[in-house]
Chain A
Amino acid sequence: DAKTTQPNSMESNEEEPVHLPCNHSTISGTDYIHWYRQLPSQGPEYVIHGLTSNVNNRMASLAIAEDRKSSTLILHRATLRDAAVYYCILDYGGSQGNLIFGKGTKLSVKP
């Protein structure tokens, strides 16, 4: 299984940008990169996904390295509500679309 590596924890100040890194050096050409987050006492929620190009949506931006071996989730202005565990996941996009969750990054946001 392709694996991802993320820092265990990160801290940010409210209203500042946050860059959450993820390494996925064994990614294959058809693997999508997904990001999910899990707020305390809730189920995970989808944040964003991409394949090769950078992506933007209302929640975040995803910057994908040219060699696709790493990616960065960008929260443009962190709020207290963004404090969560962020999971970077490779999606094989094949016949078994299982998401294998790694340990994730616990983001703390300080007021």
Chain B
Amino acid sequence: DAMVIQNPRYQVTQFGKPVTLSCSQTLNHNVMYWYQQKSSQAPKLLFHYYDKDFNNEADTPDNFQSRRPNTSFCFLDIRSPGLGDAAMYLCATSRDYRGGIYNEQFFGPGTRLTVL
């Protein structure tokens, strides 16, 4: 089945130690998104790629970076994780931006990040 895969499902890192989360998709979608979801809160968009074009949300901290080397893969890099960065990180894809069914987002299962 076509899907969005996130690895690892659980990641533990130390305060200040860089960490990379990965996402891959078999849907061949143009758009890939990264969301942060803290406990009991709604997902919050960090940034997204339309193909190779990167779009950062205005309030995303500089500590968060992303790379998309090809259509299938997208990475979230946290350069110096703080305790406040502990959260579920969700990757999603969509075919396009054109609204309606084109903007239907397919989510991966998430990576739960713990910062010690």
Contacts and interface: CB of A to CB of B under 8 A. Distances in A.
Given A97-B31, A101-B43, A42 B109 contact: yes
Interface stretch (A13-21, A44-52, A65-73, A74-82): A44-52
Nearest to A92: B99
A46 B105 contact: yes
Interface residues of B, number: 28
Interface string A81-105: 0000001000111111111111110
User: Interface size bucket, A side?
Assistant: 20 to 34
Contacts, number: 66
Contacts of B90: 43-44
B22 interface: no
B45 interface: yes
B38 to A, nearest CB: 12
Interface in A33-48: 34, 36, 42-46
B42 A87 contact: yes
A87 B101 CA distance: 17
B97 to A, nearest CB: 4
B97 A95 contact: yes
B96 to A, nearest CB: 7
A97 B43 contact: no
Contacts of A30: 99
Interface string B1-24: 000100000000000000000000
A26 B16 CA distance: 42
A91 B33 CA distance: 15
Contacts of B102: 97
